[in-house]
Amino acid sequence: MIRINLLPYRAARKKENVRYQFSVYIGSVFLACLLVFWINMYFSGKIKDLNSEIANTQAQVAKYQEINKEIAEIKKNLTLLEKKIEVIQSLQRDRKDPVKNLDSLYQLLVEKRMWYTQIEESGETYKVSGVAIDNQTVADYMTRIERSDRFQTVRLASIKQYKLQGKEDLSLKQFDVNFQKKPFQKSAAEVKK
């Protein structure tokens, strides 16, 4: 019988199989490296884009913070100006008040029967000192103050006998009266503002 040795064919086939597997392995490793390189480049680009977006956003935030500081400074200046305008308006509204109060005090005076010796204004309170011919004149004066539209809360602080020395000895009454100014009431035009 004839025997054929097929061993070299199997060995050659095995070698080729090993070479094929080795080339597939090398190809797979190469493709894996290529895939890892591509993924790395892709994510590096994404990171670079996100970093540039963060830098742009931070620049915008810094710009808006500067604008916010300017706005806060403008608001502070605006409130300061509003306070100044309010003070100016108050001064303009109240600048004629002392003259009107003195005029009102003059109008309340009982003519030829009394006169003022001293007028003191302390905030909303007035202290008037004067000399009158008799007690009835002081009472009339206090009644006039109560009825006036500018003053309220009239109180007689003191009344004393006062003798005027001269040709004729005159007996007069020296008095002190305290009262308050009525609160300022805004007109309809000022309320609408």
Average pLDDT value over all residues in the chain:
87
pLDDT for 66-102, tens place per residue? Answer: 999 999 999 999 999 999 999 999 888 878 888 888 8
pLDDT at residue number 185: 61
Once rounded to an integer, what is the mean pLDDT over residues 164-183? 83
Per-residue pLDDT at 14 exceeds 70: yes
Domain boundaries, the chain: 54-95, 97-185
Instruction: Report pLDDT for 93.
Output: 80
CATH H-level, domain 97-185: superfamily: General secretion pathway protein M, EpsM (3.30.1360.100)
Q: 């305290």: which residue's tokens?
A: 178
What pLDDT digit, counting tens, does each position of 39-76 carry? 999 999 999 999 999 999 999 999 999 999 999 999 99
pLDDT at position 167 is 61
Residues 4, 16: Cα–Cα separation, whole Å: 21
**CA 2 to CA 9: how far, in whole Å?**
18
Provide the 8-state DSSP code for 95: T
The pLDDT of residue 4 = 63
